[in-house]
Amino acid sequence: MLRNRRATARGRRGAVGLIVTGTLVLTACGGTSGGGSGSGSGSGSGETGDGVLTLGLENTLPGWDWRKQITAGHVGLEWRPVYDTLLRTNPDGTVEPNAAEEFSYNEDKTVLTLKLRDGMTFTDGKPVNAEAAKFSLEGFRDGGGVDSGRLRGITVDVVDDMTITLTLPAPNPGLVSQLGASAGQLVSPATLDNPATLDTQPIGSGPYIYNTAESVVGSKFVFDRNPDYWNPDDFAYDKIEFMVMPDETAQLNALASGQIDGAELSLASVQQAESSGSHVETFPNVWSGIYFTDRAGTQIPALADVRVRQAINMVFDRDAIVQAIWNGHGTANASIFGPGTSGYDEDLTDHYEYDVEAAKQLMEDAGYADGFDVTLPEVENYNQEYTAITVQQLAELNIRATPVSIPRQESIPRIVGGEFPMFVYKLPVNPEVEQVTNYVRPQGSFNPLHNEDPALNDLLAQWAVADPDEAGDIYQQINEFLVENAWFAPFGNPDVTWAFNDTVTVSGTIGTTPPLYAFGPME
Amino acid sequence: MLMFIGRKLAAGLVLFIAVTFVTFLLVFSNGEESVRNNLGELATEDQIAQRVNELNLDQPVLVQYVKWLGSLLTGSLGRSFNSGETVTSILATRIPVTLSIIFLALLVTSVLSIAVGVVSAVKGGWVDRSLQFLAGGAAALPSFLVAIALTFLFAIALPIFPATGYVPFGEDPGRWATSLVLPIAALVIHMVANSAQQFRGAMVDALKQDYIRTLRSRGVPERAVVLRHALRNAAAPGLTILSVQTIGLVGGAVLIEQIFALPGVGQFTIRAAIAGDLPSVMGVVVFGTLLVLVVNILADVVNAWINPRVRLS
């Protein structure tokens, strides 16, 4: 059985960001800096708390149909009380048993066998068994939801009443971490019997039951503890309320006046929350910086020259960005692997010193002393501050960058469509397996022009079939390759920040989203 | 009077069709892009094409509009692209919130602005100057700042009212009222300041008229002169301002709903627009257009009722 799989994904800070567009699939598990204990649970366990947990969240899930649920952002928290998942993905990237008590791959990592726990039931009384798991997985795969691609090409077979196998077209190290996220949801096969209630009355087997009477669609979700849940000890609260508050002022006011116990805040609001008595937990689980999409130089030949990409890495004063843009709430990092993930290497974080003169020399050596023209997508309320500083710093190298304003809902489709040779964004760093899956692999969705390199392909081939225990070393090698070849020009890791009153805290986030079990009473 | 109302309704219908048609063209001209956003970057071209087909987005926009208008006549606004719920059921939960805000804000504004306007005009002197000064200051205050200040004072420092949230009237009328005190206060301060100045100006003009002097010379009590005769004539310009402000209130409500986390139409509009949820956007447009039409017709009717000259013109 596989345990402690180090899946990675990088945390995303999409906070306000990608959210509603529902596009970003990258979800994120996020290693907390201390790393997780691997097995076991989050902070929610231990205490048997009997209180109510009330959180202010910025948006609302798109109805209860499990096929539409996503892992990223606050929506990725909202379905968690109701729908149990086959596996559990932890912020440190490890994956462990959950509703499936055992999981293991065959030798060539193309068949995953999952054995379900005995005795679990859905809230309609039907058993959680192999048929139900097959129904849930196939429905999700074919449901056309934003995350449905996570199961594309996978076939599900029932082996016996409590065992299923997933057959993969090719090894996919990220699959198990997905089964601890939206793709691993379990729903009763009766869910589809009545299309009219599909979006209003979820039938799951999760730790809580949706309280239809007390909830208000689009503004308040209320959940009561599920008395039949197999693992109640990991969830500290008897009742959970999610209040939908798109506006940060509303969240701050509700927190200060005691209406909610906690909310995710932007870095600009941290000080205000602290001054009104809240305590703030921070996690380095997103990264921001420049993504080069045209590393082969098909649109801008200069970008094919590693010296040009290295020079771009050298014109950013990362420590100044931490102070000026993130108000000191973050860490400079020239690599895309975040603290707490196995690929993280502290020596690589300052691989590119801020040195404009040396950068100019590199440009001259490469034959691009006069720079080039490039357009950068600028997304309102999302990457404007990064785009502005990028335009300014690229000008040091005579690179004429022109921001093109695009609506947020178009940003991801256009970026992953390969329209921009480079762009500035912020995305999750955990679980790190997602980083490699989405940004690095030739077929990754954030590698739209399918850049590849023979040396990197060798590493990716090893990565695809590595056992979790050995994967750390491969991630380190991938990280080294990416930094030395300047595949990206990361600025660093702005903190993901959650603020709470003095009774509640959270132990970790995956991207910006804490797992539900991570909420618990203050020690 | 019936002819008068009939003319207004006919004009309203034409306006309604014009507004919805133009918005429909704007909103639905790029339906495929909206589907793409909804399905995410991992969606295949087949999935997108299938969904576009399911939603009839591959038909000419004109055909789509006629179908939409047809289903509107049967009381259907279609289903949200996002949540799959019917747009009418979503709006049914949200319109009461927004209408509560707009109705109460209008009521409070009318009462206060007439009172302040009349007192200013009648008393004159330092009372007038003080009220004018206060109104000038209040008119300059943006409502979001007022909202933040009020919340800090009366929800956080002195926890009298809830800082955020809404309680439906049917659930608990008392808590419904307290949940709306701060939002309404934040909205109306600005409006009262503006409307009161209008009422004051109109009252001052009315009180200078010859007929007022005649009434006074006949010994009609001052109270009757002011309230029955002068105010009635001063009401028309005040009402016009109020109806314009009501329409402005819809915009103000969007902001206030955000700051106070009220689950109204404004909050929903923002979400629908960002998510490319076209049927929901159209539902909101229908609501907004109807609201404006109703308010305008009501203002005209009330105006005509208190002032016969308007009816005849």
- Residue A401 CA to residue A411 CA, distance in Å, equals 18
Domains parsed from chain A with CATH numbers: 17-190+203-264 (3.40.190.10), 286-494 (3.10.105.10)
pLDDT value at A111 more than 80:
yes
* Cβ within 8 Å, pair B164-A250: yes
A58 near B CB under 8 A: no
* Cβ within 8 Å, pair B156-A408: no
pLDDT value at B266 more than 80:
yes
A111 near B CB under 8 A: no
> What pLDDT score was predicted for residue B224?
84
Tell which B residues from 89 to 148 touch A, by Cβ distance under 8 Å. 90, 93-94, 144, 147-148
In 10 A of CB B127, how many CB atoms?
A: 12
Helices (H), A180-339: 248-256, 270-275, 306-314, 318-324
Q: Please, are residues B96 and B168 in contact by the beta-carbon 8 Å criterion?
A: yes
DSSP letter string, B244-260? HHHHHHHHHHHHHHHHT
Chain A partners of B144 at a C-beta cutoff of 8 Å?
Answer: 249
B160 near A CB under 8 A: no
Question: Where is mean pLDDT largest: A389-393, B55-59, B133-137, B298-302?
Answer: A389-393
How does DSSP classify residue B56? T
Q: What is the pTM of this model?
A: 0.81
Helices (H), A143-289: 175-178, 248-256, 270-275
> What pLDDT score was predicted for residue B313?
57
- Model confidence band, residue B140 (pLDDT cutoffs 50, 70, 90): confident
- What residues form DSSP beta bridges with A85? A185
Out of A220, A246, A412, name the one closest to residue B41 (CB).
Answer: A412
pLDDT value at A3 more than 90:
no
One-letter identity of residue A219? S
Rounded to the nearest angstrom, the minimum Cα separation between B243 and chain A is: 29
Helix, strand, coil tally for chain A in percent (to 5): 30, 25, 45
Coil vs helix vs strand at A391: helix
Interface test with B, best of A216, A272, A415 (most B CBs within 10 A): A216
B274 near A CB under 8 A: yes
* Cβ within 8 Å, pair A200-B93: no
Query: Least CA distance to A413: which residue of chain B?
Result: B41
The predicted-structure confidence for B165-217, as pLDDT tens digits, reads as follows: 888 888 889 999 999 999 999 988 888 888 888 888 888 888 888 888 888 88
- What residues form DSSP beta bridges with A53? A240
- Residue B198 CA to residue B193 CA, distance in Å, equals 9
Please report which helix (H) or strand (E) contains residue A439, including its range. none
- How would you classify the pairing of strands A155-160 and A286-292? unpaired
The predicted-structure confidence for A281-319, as pLDDT tens digits, reads as follows: 999 999 999 999 999 999 999 999 999 999 999 999 999
CATH 3.30.379 assigned to B102-275: no
Coil vs helix vs strand at A129: coil
**Higher per-residue confidence, A324 vs A59:** A324
* Cβ within 8 Å, pair A149-B85: no
Interface test with B, best of A12, A19, A20 (most B CBs within 10 A): A20
* CA–CA distances in Å: residue A412 to residues A352, A377, A391, B232: 28, 10, 20, 59
**Higher per-residue confidence, A4 vs A498:** A498
**Higher per-residue confidence, B60 vs A483:** A483
Query: Least CA distance to A60: which residue of chain B?
Result: B271
Query: Least CA distance to B47: which residue of chain A?
Result: A144
Residues 6 or more apart from B113 whose CB is under 8 A from it?
B191, B192, B194, B195, B196, B198, B199, B238, B242
Task: Give percent of chain A above pLDDT 70.
Answer: 90
- Residue A41 CA to residue A51 CA, distance in Å, equals 19
pLDDT value at B125 more than 80:
yes
